[in-house]
Structure 1
């Protein structure tokens, strides 16, 4: 089956980036942006922009009945996943393939519980340096989507279908036959990068150069390596070096979503990162002092939203 229709839920950085790209490569109505009526009204009125260009999106409400999508892409934040799963129920059919570009290591399992694990491919978005301010997204590097089956060593028909589609649509991608380890690697990067840049209220440049911020980031990532051993994932220093090399490709002026959230006085995904590490540390009796410091400092910043 060739993929001809795509639905996207979540117009954050990834949703805008991939929605805008695909809408220029496909018939407009074949790329559906799923959003409620109030959001659609705001998007249409204010516009949504990608690198200075107004996006010409085809919006569909959750209630609208239509043919199921061939490919369903989740690009919401983790806090919005439950609502997103409900919002896309009219987009999911027997043949729909689902990928989730969310941070963390749990969204695929949650989506699979709702719509069937057989529909879900594991996915990691990496190498994108986008900055989103209100309704405007800017980026230099598009990055790529890495995806594959949960079970290692398998390139299934679904994986090949998505690869063929991305190839045709000029979407940078990579098939990975050990996706769960790749997810843990990206999680390790997020734990280090997102939280450190947020705490330092800075950008990628701050952690690309030598200094205390970079040391803190790497120390937080090494706590993930220790816990990955306990979970049977077995990340190593080689994996850390790989993800640091990915970090080096990003624009120094860019910044991760958590830093953008703190700047905008929005509540962050700290529970998804340090929160997860602290729970795993407690579970296995492993010290996680750096992530505890990052957790406390981010929570302190968030506590000041109400006070100021």
Structure 2
């Protein structure tokens, strides 16, 4: 049977889901391989199906030109589902990716996997986008390391309030270790800024801030970097045309979508 992979930017998730509706109606499961919080639940809601898997990857890549992708670093890809009945599909997808040469494994804690990846993204990506620096240059800067730590600490307030079990026992060390290990990497948010494209800030820091609002938490450093990245975007995106997607109707709904409540 066909398996559909959604690998678009997070803000294109809804449109991508609508374009594959006929395949899902014919029985194809969907693998959502993206950054960002809750995108797999958006697909479930849009297509009215639970045959949806979530995947994340730590592989580094850069788009050199249309149709030409340069792999800048190896990394683990993880696949899982919020629904136990999808375990067979998870195993099938893992097998397909292994055959294709991926370092991949199935996970029974995709909520923790996604939040761990999001925490790293929220710590590193906005800093790179705002400074124009690679991950390694951020790591080697004492001032920027402190900022990354602060952003991680703020994101952890939300993680702890939600009771999410991360896949690391030391989020700060893990985030800094990721920056060091991917030192030559120009993170995806900086790539977007350089290409004058919309970033995924709304689905990373923006999503965390929406949940924090619902929980009554104040995240000043995260609010600041979010505003600055949005300001950078506004220099070349003429109309923000409510860049708030269906995901951000309200902070309460965002929490419901992400946590499946």
Q: Under a length normalisation based on structure 1, what TM-score does the superposition of the two structures give?
A: 0.69
Residues 213 and 237 (structure 1), Cα distance of their counterparts in 2 relative to 1, 3 Å cut = farther
Q: Is the CA contact 1:155–1:177 (under 8 Å) kept in the aligned structure 2? A: no
- Asked which structure has the greater RCO (Cα within 8 Å, sep 6+), the reply is 2
Q: Is the CA contact 2:62–2:72 (under 8 Å) kept in the aligned structure 1? A: no
Q: Is the CA contact 1:197–1:259 (under 8 Å) kept in the aligned structure 2? A: yes
**What is the match of residue 199 of structure 2?**
268
Distance (whole Å) between structure 2 residues aligned to residue 95 and residue 299 of structure 1: 39
Structure 1 residue 232 corresponds to structure 2 residue 163: yes
Q: Is the CA contact 1:200–1:213 (under 8 Å) kept in the aligned structure 2? A: no
Q: Answer with 207-216 or 285-294: which moved more.
A: 207-216
Structure 1 residue 282 corresponds to structure 2 residue 213: yes
Residues 174 and 207 (structure 1), Cα distance of their counterparts in 2 relative to 1, 3 Å cut = farther
Pick the aligned partner of 2:145 from 198, 214, 235: 214
**What is the match of residue 140 of structure 1?**
72
Gaps of 5+ in 1: 1-68
Q: Which runs of 4+ in 1 moved over 6 A?
A: none
User: 1:23-43: per-residue Cα shift (whole Å, max 9, x none)?
Assistant: xxxxxxxxxxxxxxxxxxxxx
Larger radius of gyration: 1
**What is the match of residue 258 of structure 2?**
none
- Would you say how many aligned residue pairs link Structure 1 and Structure 2? 236
Q: Is the CA contact 2:50–2:83 (under 8 Å) kept in the aligned structure 1? A: no
Structure 1 residue 195 corresponds to structure 2 residue 126: yes
Distance (whole Å) between structure 1 residues aligned to residue 237 and residue 177 of structure 2: 38
Structure 1 residue 110 corresponds to structure 2 residue 12: no
Q: What's the RMSD between the two structures over aligned residues? A: 2.4
Gaps of 5+ in 2: 239-261
Determine which structure has the larger helix proportion and give its number: 2
Distance (whole Å) between structure 1 residues aligned to residue 165 and residue 172 of structure 2: 12
**What is the match of residue 44 of structure 1?**
none
Distance (whole Å) between structure 1 residues aligned to residue 229 and residue 161 of structure 2: 26
Structure 1 residue 181 corresponds to structure 2 residue 112: yes
Q: Under a length normalisation based on structure 2, what TM-score does the superposition of the two structures give?
A: 0.81
Deviation at 1:96, TM superposition (A): 2.0
Residues 241 and 94 (structure 1), Cα distance of their counterparts in 2 relative to 1, 3 Å cut = farther
Distance (whole Å) between structure 1 residues aligned to residue 7 and residue 237 of structure 2: 28
